[in-house]
Amino acid sequence: MYTQGLNSTDAAATAHSEDPARLGRFQNKVDVEDKVEPNDWMPEAYRRTLVRQISQHAHSEVIGMQPEGNWLTRAPSLRRKAGLLAKVQDEAGHGLYLYAAAETLGISREEMVEQLLAGKAKYSSIFNYPTLSWADIGAIGWLVDGAAIMNQIPLCRCSFGPYARAMIRICKEESFHQRQGYEIMLTLCNGTAAQKQMAQDALNRFWWPVLMMFGPSDKESLHSTDTMKWKIKRFSNDDLRQKFIDATVPQGHYLGLTFPDPDLTFDAASGHWRTGEIDWSEFKRVLAGDGPCNRQRMHTRTTAHADGAWVREAALAYAAKRAKRADRAPQAAE
């Protein structure tokens, strides 16, 4: 879903230290849109950038279960509860597809989880915002998943095969997420004045943080050239953000809601909606760990991981015991 990690490459492993002939062959392969597969030779910086990017993406899916999980037991009807539960299960699944894709690059899932819990790996800034009302579940599905789709569709053509294949699967499932969110918003907007106000309040709180999901402005994003050249990333942050804004503003107006941006105007000449300036200091603060829910999210994740340790240990011990017994008393094949 959440690929703010694309905004930097690892300075430590620059392409210059590697064999120019190999680098040339690698670049040719990428240029003709051949997929790079795990056992193929690849530049060290390409590998590291992908490991960081895919693992951050996976962590975002996993942490992303928390804000929505917050409303599972309080969903207003069985229909909504079933839908939300299915969505949260999908996020878990997406995290697992992505961890598996990253593992093909030579890092273990345990290592990635450890990096997340140690605070060394990041996840998308958007999940550090709280879900204060049921309408936030609608806003997340509509806006957060909508922004994620904009980001992820180009990733289906990413040069690294396992990542591209995981993204195709994820994008297919993500469309249900956005529609269930928009339906929640629509129902609230067609409800009582208080319900519509809930929807408006959710939009007010989520709109700007959602725009920040696309990462820093192109003017500030210094490292995107390598990821573009390697065809990991296909569009710039600002291009994707603009596409999202153009798609989303009319949807909000259909709901009868207003966007919390007095400068939002339609530029007839270019055919684009223009927003006011994003508050980048907020973005930086949340990424650096000081958003409304950063500590709570990490605490919940760390606790869940620690509480599950005995289950993992028991499962492994049981498997080891069975394997030992099977060794001792071989049986005919069934």
Partner 1 sequence: MSETLMPLWEVFIRNRSGMPHKHCGSVHAADATMALQAARDVYTRRGESVSIWVIPSSAITASDPGDKDHLFEPTASKPYRHPTFYTVPDEVGHM
Q: Which is nearer to partner 1, 39 or 73 (CB)?
A: 39
What is the nearest approach in angstroms of partner 1 to the Cβ of residue 40?
5
What is the nearest approach in angstroms of partner 1 to the Cβ of residue 30?
15
Q: Which is nearer to partner 1, 21 or 309 (CB)?
A: 309
Q: Which is nearer to partner 1, 161 or 292 (CB)?
A: 161
Q: Which is nearer to partner 1, 285 or 305 (CB)?
A: 305
Q: Which is nearer to partner 1, 112 or 147 (CB)?
A: 112
Say if residues 56 and 2 touch (Cβ distance below 8 Å): yes
What is the nearest approach in angstroms of partner 1 to the Cβ of residue 41?
8
Q: Please name the amino acid found at residue 301.
A: R
What is the nearest approach in angstroms of partner 1 to the Cβ of residue 205?
30
Tell me phi and psi for residue 265, to 5 degrees.
-140, 155
What is the nearest approach in angstroms of partner 1 to the Cβ of residue 97?
6
What is the nearest approach in angstroms of partner 1 to the Cβ of residue 217?
35
Q: Which is nearer to partner 1, 105 or 199 (CB)?
A: 105
- Per DSSP, the three-state class of 273 is strand
What is the nearest approach in angstroms of partner 1 to the Cβ of residue 232?
19
Helix-, strand-, coil-residue percentages of the chain, each rounded to 5: 65, 0, 30
Binding stretches for partner 1 (CB under 8 A):
37, 39-41, 86, 89-90, 93, 96-97, 100, 103, 108-111, 114, 166, 173, 309, 312-313, 315-316, 318-319, 322
Buried-state track 47-69, b at ≥16 Cβ within 10 A, e below 16: bbbbbbbbbbbbbbbbbbbbbbe
Q: Which is nearer to partner 1, 222 or 315 (CB)?
A: 315
Structure tokens at 31: 């240029």
Residue with tokens 């969505």: 87
Report the C-alpha gap between 105 and 128 in whole angstroms: 29
Give the torsion sign (CA, 41, 43, 46, 52).
Answer: positive
Say if residues 174 and 111 touch (Cβ distance below 8 Å): no
**Within the chain, where are the H helices?**
20-31, 44-63, 65-69, 78-103, 109-117, 135-139, 145-155, 161-189, 193-212, 224-229, 237-254, 280-285, 294-307, 309-328
Report the C-alpha gap between 167 and 97 in whole angstroms: 9
